[in-house]
Each structure stands twice: as C-alpha cells, then as structure tokens.
Amino acid sequence: MALVGIGLWAWSEKGVLSNISSITDLGGLDPVWLFMVVGGVMFILGFAGCIGALRENTFLLKFFSVFLGIIFFLELTTGVLAFVFKDWIKDQLNLFINNNIRAYRDDIDLQNLIDFTQEYWECCGAFGADDWNLNIYFNCTDANPSREKCGVPFSCCTKDPAEDVINTQCGYDIRAKPDSEQKDYINVKGCVPQFEKWLQDNLTLVAGIFIGVALLQIFGICLAQNLVSDIEAVRASCFFT
C-alpha cells in the first residue's frame, strides 16, 4: 500500500515529477503509474495469501502461489537478460542521464535528484563534466548568454570539509579551465563509471539482497502449496468418513 500511496501523492501533486515521462523515453507513460501498479499487485497478492490462509480457501492460495511464481520467474529472467545485455543497459543509462541533463532546469524535483546523485557518487555527467554541454544553460557555445556558461552544477564540485554553507556558484566557468586544473575543483569522473564501481565494490551485498528476496518468494510458494495440500487432504478424509 505504501507504493500505491506514493503513486497517488505524486500524481495528485502538480509539479511533482511532472517532467519525468519526457526524460525516461517511455512514450509518454508516466512512471508514477508504475508505483501504483506494482503497489496494487503486491496488495492483491498479500490479501489473497492472508485471506486464503485464514479462510482455508484453496483458490486464493493457488492464486497467490502461481502469481508469486510468475513474479519470481520474471525477476530471474530480468537478471539473466541484464547480465547478457549489460552493454545495452549501460548505453540506456547513459541516454537516461543525458536526457536528465538536458531537462535539469525544467523540474525542481529532477534537479534535486541529479544533484543528490552527483554528490552521492562524487561524479559529474554521464561519462564526464563535458556532458553538461547538452544543457542550454551550461554549454560553452559563444551564443550562450547564461552566467552558467561553460560551468557545471554545484553538485559536481569537490567538497571542502571546512565549508558549512554550500557554494552554489563553485562550478561557474570551471570547464573553461584546462583539464588538469578541473580535477582540483570538480569531480571529473562520470556517474556511469562510478555506478559500475559501486556495484563491483558492493557485489556481495547486492547479490545477497536478491538471493534473500528470491528465497522468501520460494518459501512463500512452498508454504502456500503445502497448505493447499493439507487442506485438500483434510477435506478428502472428511468426505470419505
């Protein structure tokens, strides 16, 4: 229900993720609906499992186990495809980040998301700071009248532990400097390589989470099937007696 609530809140609040569908390249589909659909499916499955167990309803228990099995199979298929087509996923991630860069000033929520990502991963752009040439406010063309010309957002800047207040102008004119000097002021690594590095460093944790979720799903399927067998066995014995 939490995902449904998040989806309803984001859909009802005008301006919250209002431009998200234009940057995800989903043909106009608003990803907010994804939260609502996933949340709705989880609620229905949980409801079917609980009511089926309490009321000893074999139809609901079978419904629960079958759809949980389908979800497990889809997750497994997604994992295999992600490994096989990892280069394609990398290209799509690059495209996604670049689309976000273009729309950086169009939505305050998107802007905060990009800033958080660049600060957390200590990165700048998809593969480097020059990716910010895609944004009309930060590009280095002579026709650009913006004060942010040839700069980067403040979230690209390296942090000074002594600073208590964020200097939002720290990225101004930074890309007009030689590459050898830029690394003293901003994070020059792109977010895609930094994300890959994070996955490699935390591979055990990520794999453990996925295995844990898979085991819980398998346990739920087995438990539901065992309960169905017990109920049918009891009913059969009552019928013959």
Handedness of CA 104, 109, 112, 114 (dihedral sign): negative
Q: How far is residue 30 from each of residues 37, 115, 185, 221, measured CA to CA in Å? A: 12, 22, 37, 32
User: Is 131 within a domain?
Assistant: yes
CATH code at position 144: 1.10.1450
Q: What is the mean pLDDT of the chain?
A: 82
Q: What residue numbers bound the domain in which 173 lies? A: 103-201
- Are the CB atoms for 65 and 220 separated by under 8 Å? yes
* Amino acid sitting at position 204: T
User: Is 238 within a domain?
Assistant: no
* First and final C-alpha spacing in the chain: 44
Residue 94 structure tokens: 């690059």
User: Is 24 within a domain?
Assistant: no
User: Is 45 within a domain?
Assistant: no
- pLDDT tens, 196-218? 888 888 888 888 888 898 898 89
Decide if pLDDT at 223 tops 70: yes
Residue ranges of the alpha helices (H) in 58-202? 58-84, 86-102, 108-121, 179-182, 191-201
Q: What is the mean pLDDT of residues 78-97?
A: 85
User: Is 8 within a domain?
Assistant: no
Counting other chains too, the contacts that 16-21 makes at CB distance below 8 Å and 24 or more residues apart are 16/109, 17/107, 17/109, 17/110, 18/107, 18/109, 19/103, 19/106, 19/107, 19/110, 20/107, 20/110
Q: What pLDDT score does 55 carry?
A: 85
Residue 46 structure tokens: 């949980």
Q: What pLDDT score does 151 carry?
A: 93
| 8-state DSSP, 149 | T
**Which residues, in sequence order, are bridge partners of residue 186?**
157
Q: Domains in the chain: how many in total?
A: 1
User: Is 114 within a domain?
Assistant: yes
Decide if pLDDT at 4 tops 50: no
Residue 160 CB-density burial (10 A; 0-12 exposed, 13-18 middle, 19+ buried): exposed
- pLDDT tens, 110-142? 888 899 999 999 999 999 999 999 999 999 988
Predicted structure pTM score:
0.69
Residue 230 CB-density burial (10 A; 0-12 exposed, 13-18 middle, 19+ buried): exposed
User: Is 156 within a domain?
Assistant: yes
User: Is 179 within a domain?
Assistant: yes
